[in-house]
Amino acid sequence: MQISVVISLLNEAESLRELTEWIHKVMTANNFSYEVIFIDDGSTDNSWEVITDLSKQYEQVKAIRFRRNYGKSAGLYKGFEKAEGDVVITMDADLQDSPDEIPELYRMITEEGYDLVSGWKKKRYDPVLTKNLPSKLYNATVRLMTGIKLHDFNCGLKAYKKKVVKSIEVYGEMHRYVPVLAQWAGFKKIGEKVVIHQERKYGVSKFGIERFIRGPLDLMSVMFISRFSKRPMHFFGSIGMINFLIGFIILIYLSYMKFIHLQYNMTQRPLFYLGIVCLILGTQLFLTGFLAELISRSSSNRNEYLCDEFIK
């Protein structure tokens, strides 16, 4: 099978039939063998009934239904798990992502050798203050922290080699950082394509203001896990040692001033309390790193490494 289209959705019954027909038209015109995997993320409208009808009409339609709403990352995780195509395409169900982009995304993966191609909604039809400006700030921050030169990390329209989606684990709100997870898994050729962004035709956006809080927290989680998941002592221990050293130097200095220069009332100086705090904080961070290292060493996946090829 050439292409798997993975679509996680919540209350998008009005757009599903039009979207499926559009995808089928594009795939048929390009003679692609394909499947469409819908993940119903706890919809409260009749999305599942529409998907059921579509599966009877199109043999390529497959679906998973969650008992409750788990979030987009959970939907993508189950979709990636089920996908069988050589190239996996993700897109939203609200018709803002155009299936007409699929052939070129497929070509970039198969002919140009990209591991992942992310869409870039260069011209957006979203509210400026609530979505466009925050999105630009968010993307600039992620570029700075990760070194991945993408303009639109949060674009739902992406294409992946099959081995990419089988090598990463998407959870929480990590769907925003799939390129970061892919890079950490060893997939270096990550590209970008300008895609058409269309105005929402049905329904309302499912993303609220809470994403501005969750996004930075998830980014910090991704950065920490990708760099220190197998060596947490390097993170906590390094910061702990620096704090302990600062506190130790401060107390040595105060002791020198007291016993050599006979200065008194050292314990009443703010510098004394700063030194004590640094010592305590350094010790706690070091112990945190030690405990995290013990947990990491006892983990069942401590020696799991992603391998690309073998010669026997």
Helix (H, G, I), strand (E, B) or coil at 92: coil
Tell me what pLDDT residue 192 has.
94
Yes or no: say if 89 and 5 are a contact pair by the CB < 8 Å rule.
yes
> Are 291 and 257 part of one and the same domain?
yes
> Are 173 and 121 part of one and the same domain?
yes
Helix (H) or strand (E) holding 161: strand 158-161
In a domain, 237, yes or no: yes
> Are 70 and 179 part of one and the same domain?
yes
* Maximum distance among all Cα pairs of the chain, rounded to whole angstroms: 92
> Are 163 and 264 part of one and the same domain?
no
> Are 223 and 282 part of one and the same domain?
no
Tell me what pLDDT residue 260 has.
81
Nearest to 36 by CA among 111, 102, 112: 102
In a domain, 310, yes or no: no
Tell me what pLDDT residue 2 has.
96
> Are 170 and 198 part of one and the same domain?
yes
Domain-ending residue, one of 228, 244, 279:
228
In a domain, 210, yes or no: yes
Yes or no: say if 209 and 23 are a contact pair by the CB < 8 Å rule.
no
Please give the Cα distance from 20 to 15 (Å, whole number). 9
Domain-ending residue, one of 171, 203, 228:
228
In a domain, 262, yes or no: yes
Tell me what pLDDT residue 16 has.
95
In a domain, 307, yes or no: no
Domain-ending residue, one of 168, 198, 228:
228
> Are 152 and 269 part of one and the same domain?
no
Yes or no: say if 52 and 22 are a contact pair by the CB < 8 Å rule.
no
Helix (H) or strand (E) holding 280: helix 270-297
In a domain, 303, yes or no: no
Tell me what pLDDT residue 129 has.
61
CA distances from 2 to 85, 99, 129, 174 (A): 5, 15, 40, 26
Per-residue pLDDT tens listing for the chain (312 residues) = 999 999 999 999 999 999 999 999 999 999 999 999 999 999 999 999 999 999 999 999 999 999 999 989 899 999 999 999 999 999 999 998 999 999 999 999 999 999 999 999 887 766 656 566 777 787 888 888 788 889 888 889 999 999 999 998 888 778 888 998 898 888 999 999 999 888 777 766 655 556 666 667 777 777 777 677 777 888 888 999 999 999 999 999 988 888 887 777 777 888 889 999 999 999 999 999 888 888 877 766 655 656 666 667
Tell me what pLDDT residue 122 has.
82
Quote the pTM value: 0.76
> Are 257 and 208 part of one and the same domain?
no
Task: Find the Cα–Cα–Cα–Cα dihedral 221, 222, 223, 224, rounded to 10°.
Answer: 50
> Are 78 and 183 part of one and the same domain?
yes
Q: Which residue has the tokens 């339609």?
A: 61
Number of structural domains (the chain) is 2
> Are 87 and 190 part of one and the same domain?
yes
CB atoms within 10 A of CB 143: 14
Please give the Cα distance from 222 to 202 (Å, whole number). 33
> Are 75 and 115 part of one and the same domain?
yes
In a domain, 151, yes or no: yes
Domain that holds residue 240: 232-297
What sign for the dihedral angle of Cα 63, 27, 89, 72?
negative
Query: CATH number of the domain that 100 lies in?
Result: 3.90.550.10
Please give the Cα distance from 30 to 16 (Å, whole number). 21
In a domain, 190, yes or no: yes
> Are 201 and 94 part of one and the same domain?
yes
Phi-psi domain of 17 (left: phi exceeds 0; alpha: psi -120 through 50; beta: other): alpha
